[in-house]
Chain A
Amino acid sequence: MQNQEGLQADAEMASVTPIQATEVEDWANFRDDDIMQQQSAIRAVEAEKIPLVGDKEPLSSLAAEYQSGSPILLEKIKVLSEQFDAIRRTRGDGNCFFRSFMFSYLEHILESQDREEVNRITGNVENCRKTLQSLGYADFTFEDFFALFLEQLESVLQGNEASISHDELMQRSRDQSISDYVVMFFRFVTSGEIRKRSEFFEPFILGLTNTTVEQFCKSSVEPMGEESDHVHITAVSDALGVPIRVVYLDRSSCDTGGVSVNHHDFIPAISDAPSGTSGGSETKPFINLLYRPGHYDILYPK
């Protein structure tokens, strides 16, 4: 849920609730199904406001959101605009991290035509498949999602029959039936990585007192709409070997004078990160995401 959307959602709820109240006269017959239906109705209303993946907007549109808001945020956006010039918003449906990652990655391949990187990630996808198999997942539960991702990867490479343009990539990323399948692919990959290295991840999972890493994956990684945090990001970055930069935009400030914007680079633990990205010893992530508490969008560096 985005900051500014929280308010809108509240306003929306207020207009929805009275209708519900008249419909539900007999609470004995008000069932879970009804609640699920109401939830999906609210989602549908949200959906009309922002597509799964939005258009590229100048960074000034971000500043416009906070015109009457916190001065610290406005300062930070100013700092941000020195490094980045555009933002692409994603829908706040709990899948925003994975969806941002998906679009950002495929767009990068489309623009760079980096076949070496495609070969590299394809190898890692195969390893993820083996991981899931060794964890006891039946092939038919995940193979369709894997196949659809590999299909997208193939199609952003130009020069074959299935090649697609940037417009088509946009369209597919907004087509729920394709977009959600790719998001689900990342959820499987993330879950597999966390469970494979459960001893490593266990200390980082919050509130894991009366549940297991496996349970965490079942309840907070695999289901669509479950939000992601550093655990998910670390896992998917490691599993696929793709470095990710997350820039944090919040009200925190430091006493040392000038306002600065924090970022964190998730660098894959396995040292086979994309080779051609920087040439130097330091890998600079080509995926840049903006994090505001509870939501991720895509950033474009200058």
Chain B
Amino acid sequence: MQASRARLFKEYKEVQREKAADPDIQLACDDSNIFKWTALIKGPSETPFEGGVFQLAFSVPEQYPLQPPQVRFLTKIFHPNVHFKTGEICLDILKNAWSPAWTLQSVCRAIIALMAHPEPDSPLNCDSGNLLRSGDIRGYQSMARMYTRLAAMSKKG
């Protein structure tokens, strides 16, 4: 408990210090609970998610950093490796390939990379995975783009 708190505090300071370093990620800690974080990540360019801003929710276990944080999309996204209803993410580093060498910030970077490089062979969203596996790139991209517009872009903009 104490160890995880100390580590998260270090990450917090690092995030404050490096704020400008990665303009695609805005990571923030809950005011009253250092085990709850949220992030806003920009959809990577040249993907159907470009122009969208996606919100992630982090729930950090007491055994952190020996155990991975739980992360899910709060913003609806059409992607083979993200559960369409729950926002759960299928990513090895959030499961058995986790190590304390990862940080909340680098997890965000890994999720952005996953958005650009979906793994249709281990789908959480089968509809999305099937479009890619059947080679219907256009179908996948238009569905993904539609949901990006509906859910991840500001209505005013």
Contacts and interface: CB of A to CB of B under 8 A. Distances in A.
A32 B7 contact: no
Contacts of B19: none
A188 interface: yes
A144 B3 contact: yes
A180 B66 contact: yes
Contacts of A187: 99
Provide the main secondary structure of the chain B interface: loop
Which one of A31, A140, A177, A180 has the greatest number of beta carbons of chain B within 10 Å? A140
A164 interface: no
A32 B3 contact: no
B88 A33 contact: yes
A51 to B, nearest CB: 18
Given A31-B83, A31-B86, A218 B99 contact: yes
Contacts of A218: 97, 99, 101
Contacts of A181: 3, 66
Interface string B77-98: 0000001001010101001111
Contacts, number: 54
B88 A223 contact: no
A223 to B, nearest CB: 5
26 contacts: A31-B83, A31-B88, A32-B95, A32-B124, A137-B101, A138-B14, A140-B11, A140-B14, A140-B103, A141-B100, A141-B103, A144-B3, A145-B100, A184-B66, A184-B99, A187-B99, A218-B97, A218-B99, A218-B101, A219-B92, A219-B97, A222-B101, A223-B96, A223-B99, A224-B66, A225-B96
A75 B120 CA distance: 52
Provide the main secondary structure of the chain A interface: helix
B6 interface: yes
Contacts of B101: 137, 141-142, 188, 191, 218, 222
**Number of contact residues on A: which range applies?**
20 to 34
Contacts of B99: 184, 187, 218, 222-224
B97 A140 contact: no
Interface of B: 3, 6-7, 10-11, 14, 65-66, 70, 83, 86, 88, 90, 92, 95-103, 124
Which one of A137, A138, A187 has the greatest number of beta carbons of chain B within 10 Å? A138
A222 B92 CA distance: 13
A133 to B, nearest CB: 13
Interface string A161-189: 00000000000000001001100100110
